[in-house]
Structure 1
């Protein structure tokens, strides 16, 4: 905001990278170079954070038996870096690098929107079911009736549906391909687990299912 007020640049001049030029106009070359260095370090830090987040998601899924145990391998030393999961996350980043920045952001937003809509639908379906499975634990219940919950989910769902509707053909194609890949990968993992083609961490998964089976049924009316 300070840069906008301190410069007389027209709106069309504010393209990618112009913030450094604005800093140079305000404070000179040293501020321009400092802003560029800060932008580079910020981008690197954001990428590393996203890479680590995706890698540890793969690690957790492998520890739960949802992915082959190879994704749970850690490197030697005190850091115990999950190097296989990091390499897999980096490979995905390289695979989508052929897209432009706008397409990558739009694809990520589209996939997030589809996932959020699925979560809302599952939430309303669980509340609408007359009988819930006794193995499903519900330590908290949203204190609203079903019509109010539907109205609550309607507002964000409208925005998410708009994001899905305005996506371009390239973004929609990439999102559809990734969604199909996820569904196919899930089926392939089930086949590999049942036929023992790959090694899975079945101990944690079995213990998790046992805890769900031993859980007491929720009180009547708590869905």
Structure 2
């Protein structure tokens, strides 16, 4: 066998192996990120159920301590979005994340005003006015991102937000009628306590 041909074969095999390892690592990384996202979503549903915001069955755990119902709901959300392209799913996810950040900004200011002495793990060293001024630049950038969304992403994202806005009063109605059980886990700290900041 010709030496040059042998070295060329080894070199091409080596790069083929490197490419396979690289592709495998990327696939495992994507699977890990997907599982992390699903589990964080399911634990958010569990936390909301433990705070009485969702029916008690969302707080159901498997024998391993994982939120079983939350995982099933998270997986069903993935299945419902499977008709969209990957880029559209990412854009819709970013759109909803931006809306969520705006809601967090509003909650930050509202909690600052209504519960100024609530116990916190840390405190931003700004007053209410400083907090509002701090949030203006990111709010402007978020609005720019929202304005650049495509029509299809806009429709899906607004549809998801409308479902959320409609679901909240429906859950309150279901709770009043006692069709399903809502309960608050007693071990959780009370956010409304006016304990001094330590």
* TM-score interval for Structure 1 and Structure 2 normalised by the shorter chain: 0.7 to 0.9
- In structure 2, the CA distance between the partners of 1:74 and 1:33, relative to structure 1 (3 Å rule), is same
Residue by residue over 1:12-33, the C-alpha shift from the partner in whole angstroms, topping out at 9 and shown as x without a partner, is: xxxxxxxxxxxx9895110011
Cα distance in 1 for residues equivalent to 2:111 and 2:49: 27
Partner of 1:137: 118
CA shift for structure 1 position 75: 2.3
Which of 167, 175, 179 is 2:157 aligned to?
175
Structure-2 residue corresponding to 1:149: 131
Q: Which residue of 2 aligns with 1:108?
A: 93
Q: Which runs of 5+ in 2 are unaligned?
A: 1-10
Are 2:167 and 1:185 equivalent residues in the alignment?
Answer: yes
TM-superposed deviation, 1:150 = 3.2
Shift of the 106–212 alpha-carbon distance from structure 1 to 2, 3 Å rule, reads closer
TM-score, normalised with respect to structure 1:
0.72
Mapping for residues 90-109 of structure 1, pairs under 5 Å = 90-109=75-94
Q: Give the stretch that moved more between structures: 136-145 or 89-98.
A: 136-145
Deviations 1:7-55 (A, max 9, x none): xxxxxxxxxxxxxxxxx98951100111111111111111111111111
Structure ranking higher on relative contact order (CA contacts 8 Å, 6+ apart):
2
Normalized against structure 2, the TM-score is what? 0.80
* Structure 2 counterpart of 1:118: 103
Structure 1: distance between partners of 2:130 and 2:27 = 46
CA distance in structure 1 between the aligned counterparts of 2:124 and 2:59, rounded to whole angstroms: 35
Q: How does 1:2-151 map to 2 (within 5 A)?
A: 27-76=14-63, 79-124=64-109, 132=114, 137=118, 139=120, 141-151=123-133
Q: 1:159 to 1:25 in 2, by over 3 A?
A: farther
Task: Give the drift of 1:105.
Answer: 0.8
Residue by residue, what CA displacement relative to the aligned partner does 1:156-183 show, whole Å, maximum 9, x if unpaired?
A: 1121011100001111111100001111
Partners in 1 of 2:191 and 2:126 — Cα distance?
Answer: 26
1:158 aligns with 2:140: yes
